[in-house]
Amino acid sequence: MLRRLSGGAWALPMLLFTALPIVALVLASTPSDLAAGARHPLFLPALALSARTTAVSILVIAVAGTPLAWWLARGTGRLTRAAEILIDLPIVLPPAVMGIALLQALGPSGLLGPSLAALGLTLPFTSTAVVLAQVVVSAPFYVQGAATAFRAVDEDLLIVARTLGQSPAGAFLRVAVPIALPGMVTAGALSWARALGEFGATLFFAGNLASATQTMPLAIYTALESDSRTAVALALFLAAASTLLLVPLRMVPRALAVGGTR
């Protein structure tokens, strides 16, 4: 018991420091401020755009990232390790750097710009650019989390599935995915939360155009230039939306794990 209390005492300062900004944000807004923030012309378009783009982003990440996570989980060579480092780079690089990198890759004068222009495609400063920025910065959270979940899948179960006539794809979909699903959902929740809060890469690659590329974080940035109370209210709305959606998503893996043991 003493050891538990001692460990809790050491953990308390960091816990309090982490919670302090959220508490301050809640205390900074009154009900009238929240009502004014909800009526602000920036609010609904930014909220709708954030909801729409993050939904598309997490769908793209799940579809394209799951095979990559499976490959990382099964691979052991130098190529796999190099791929893991490359995937992790968006986590450690500043978002603004990723925004500039996207411009250099997909902008009009970028690496693929002329090819995209020949196809009649313009990506920067569009809602598609918002999705691309969100995918780039948040995909690592899903890929690495899903890869960790796949590594926990017993190889013997896959061998048994193959001996019973399953193809490699069938063994993956019917054995590996159901077992790893709780971890995949948790990884997806973290990835979605990161996409929802994306700011820097979106600003540099997609701009801050009202009703077109202005997501909730960018709306908060815009409101802060003229009305700090509105910015605080919008920030509280975003924090509440993240919490209301993230908490159930974090509880789903537990429910799946409990259901899987029955």
Q: What pLDDT, on the 0 to 100 scale, is given for residue 2?
A: 47
| pLDDT reported for residue 89 | 92
Give the ranges where 40-118 is alpha helix by DSSP (H). Answer: 43-74, 78-92, 95-106, 113-118
Asked: is 40-260 a CATH 3.40.710.10 domain? The reply is: no
At residue 4, the pLDDT reads: 54
Q: Which residues fall within 8 angstroms of residue 43, CB to CB, at 6 or more apart?
A: 37, 219, 234, 237
Q: How far is CA 143 from the centre of its chain?
A: 11
Closest to 246 in 3D by CA, of 171, 188, 202: 188
Phi, psi of 136 (to 5 degrees): -60, -45
pLDDT at position 226: 82
According to the model, what pLDDT value does residue 148 have? 94
Domain ranges for the chain: 40-260
pTM across the whole model:
0.86
Region of 97 on the Ramachandran plot (φ > 0 left; ψ -120 to 50 alpha; else beta): alpha
Angle subtended by helix axes 228-260 and 216-224, to nearest 10: 160
Q: How far is CA 27 from CA 34, 58, 127, 224, in A?
A: 12, 32, 34, 18
Burial bucket for residue 23 (CB in 10 Å: 0-12, 13-18, 19+): exposed
CA distances to 2, 27, 38 from 12, rounded to whole Å, are 15, 21, 35
Q: Which pLDDT belongs to residue 6?
A: 55
End-to-end CA distance of the chain: 33
Mean pLDDT split into 10-residue runs, the chain, 262 residues: 59 85 83 82 91 96 96 88 91 93 93 91 94 96 95 88 86 90 90 92 93 93 85 86 72 59 53
